[in-house]
Every structure is written in structure tokens, then in C-alpha cells.
Amino acid sequence: MLLQGGTGIPHLKWFGVEGDYNVMVIDLLGPSLEDLFNYCNRKFSLKTVLMLADQLLNRVEYMHSRGFLHRDIKPDNFLMGLGRKANQVYIIDYGLAKKYRDLQTHRHIPYRENKNLTGTARYASVNTHLGVEQSRRDDLESLGYVLMYFLRGSLPWQGLKAGTKKQKYDKISEKKMLTPVEVLCKSYPSEFISYFHYCRSLRFEDKPDYSYLKRLFRDLFVREGYQFDYVFDWTVLKYPQIGSNPRVRQPSGRTGGTVVPSAERVERTSAGQEVRDRFSGAVEAFARRHGSGTGQHGENLKHKALEDSLLSPKEAVHDSDKTHASSSRNGSTSKRAVISSSRPSSSADPNDQQLSRTSRLVSSSTSSRPSATQRLHHSGPEPRVSSLARKATGRVSRDEPPHRSFEFLSISGDRRK
């Protein structure tokens, strides 16, 4: 509950006990960065990595500001939002999080050694491998490995073979310590080397200079001449026309006049976009009634594949804790929630490894009839699609009852090493 209200923190809707299960209901979110990494053939461009880095640093900084370490920073634990939040990164899975200081006294946890490895070995900091108690510096070092993983496609200590888990951890640790950051970041901008040098220079209780780290990457972004337009690699794959549009094509080497907005800023949509937003749902409903041949009174909603969860940047609002005044399109509202449940366990893994397999229950419901007052006023003739949309909206609201369906989504509990 201490994290609630922050940008990129899933909203906790309900938690409690149901039979033998501990249950938590949170926002329904989109694909993880690991899912999107695979979707993009396991390589992200520098532009995508830098746009992500800005948000990832913000998420980690927020957790630290609330007195918690995450201790399991990895691509699987960062999810993109859905709908208007499709460009916003969320941080999830606080099962290994630890309070590192008291919010009133600001007293830091003491330095300790001989600790078991907590987290995922692939992204664990060098100090974590050495058995040192984790602090803020370790979350940031892990984030650096995530960024290099995205750029390189893999890390040098992946794929090592060993007989036991401990032997594998030892091999990963040895390879990680024997790989200089200059080698790890070879062929990539020197800012990544600076990032690692800074993280490793921090003492146990030091407060990191998050602004310095974000500025490192923002200055690089400007120098490369990129536009902070939230057109990620997966956006271009999903919508190839965006990548070929000269208005959004990325310039090379242009340094003047490039503005890098904060990842927390809201994009104001144009009036034309507002028209599309308000009537898109109605047009889709009209198409379903007259083109699909399916019944009016509802077949079960099907879970969308990964591609269907990726929105065009025109349809999504940028990273922000603010929302547009209009919370619904064509007057309808929808609520979705994810229920994560796991059996309570009386025994803990001695290595503080990942907790348990979970299942998610997705609840989707749509309701309410569009209000007669929800109209757009235009000077001049009204677009043809608007009248079509109004007609379709009226039919759908009268003829089609609200859909209520539930689907079980199995989520793998396997943790990559």
C-alpha cells in the first residue's frame, strides 16, 4: 500500500483470502519488456532503449523514495500498459522487495555479508554475487545489465553450463567480474560505461543521483537526433507505415532543436484525433454487426494475442499519472482487472529465489448506454463517419446486452537465470 499512487505502479483494487488462496486484484496490464524483446527478434534499437531507460529509472527511483528496494530488476518485471497507457512502463512483482530504511527516521539497514543471492542471477549486481546486503546501488546496477541485454541481445554470462544451481551462480559471478564494463559496452555509446562506473562507485548507504543518470541518457538521446515520440521498435513492427513516414523517421546526427519531454508528460491530442477516439468503438461495433456474421447477444470475449495489445502511438497517451478528462469512448466504460493468486507457503527458498507460480483471472465487463449529450460540436459539415458512428452506437446500446466473461490466463513462474 505504501507504493500506491505512483506513476507506473499498478493500482491495487482488492486483496484478501479466498479458500486456500491469497488473492490480489490489480490493473490488467499489457506485455512485459521480455515479451516485446522476443517480438522484436531479441534486439532493441538505441532509441527504444533510451526511451525505456528514462521510465525505468523513474520507476526504480520512486520505489526507493518510498523506502523499498525491488531486488529483482529484470525485463519480465516491467510491463507496458494498455489502451491510453500503452506507452507507460509499469514495475511489478514486489515479492522480493525489501524495506531498506525507515520513512520517519530515515535509518538505513545495516551493512551485512554472507547473504544468499536474492533475485535473478543474470541481472544481479557484483556485490550481490559476493554476498553483500543489497542497497539502492544494486537495483541500479541490475538495471544497467537490463539495458545492455536489450542492446546486445544477450549478456556474456548467459548459457553457462553447470551441474548444480550454486555452481551455475558461481560461474555467472566469475564471468561477470572478469568482464570489464568497457568490454560489456563495446561498440555502444560511452554513456553506458559511465553509468556502470557511477553505480559501482556508490557506497552501501549512498543515495544515487538519479537525475545525473537520466541526464546521461537524455543528452545522448538529443545528440543522436532522436525524437521522443514514443515510437518503439514494436510499434514500427506492428505499424510499418509509421516507420516509413518521413514525419516520424528518425534523423541521424541532427542535434539542434530536439526536445526530450519528460516521460511523465501528457500528450494533448488534436481535435481530429478526439473525433476518432470518441467514435472508434461505435464504428467497430457497427462493423461487427454488419460484417462478421456472428450473433448479436454475445460470444465469449477472447484473449488478445501480443500483437493486438500493441497500440499505435496515435491511440496511446504518453507516460503520465494524469488522465484525459474524458474517461470513455462513445460513452461506454469498461473495467478490467487481474487477479493473481498463489497458495500460501510455509517454507521459504533458502536462496530467496522466485516465489511461486501464479494464475490470473481476467474480468472484463462493459456497460452503460451512451448519453444523448455526448456529442462533438463542429463548424461546417459533419464527417460522414460521425453519422455512421452515431447510428451504430445507438443500435449497439439498444440491441446488445453488456458482455460479462472470464478467462483464465496461466502465467509461467519459471525464472530465467
Q: How many whole angstroms separate alpha carbon 197 and alpha carbon 186?
A: 14
**342 bridge partner residues:** 22
Of the listed 20, 27, 35, 72, which one is catalytic?
72
Dihedral, CA atoms, 217, 219, 224, 230, nearest 10 degrees?
A: 60
Count CA atoms within 13 Å of residue 29 on its CB side: 27
Whether 72 is catalytic is: yes
Residues 6+ apart with CB under 8 A from 326: 277, 278
- Tell me which residues are annotated as active site: 72
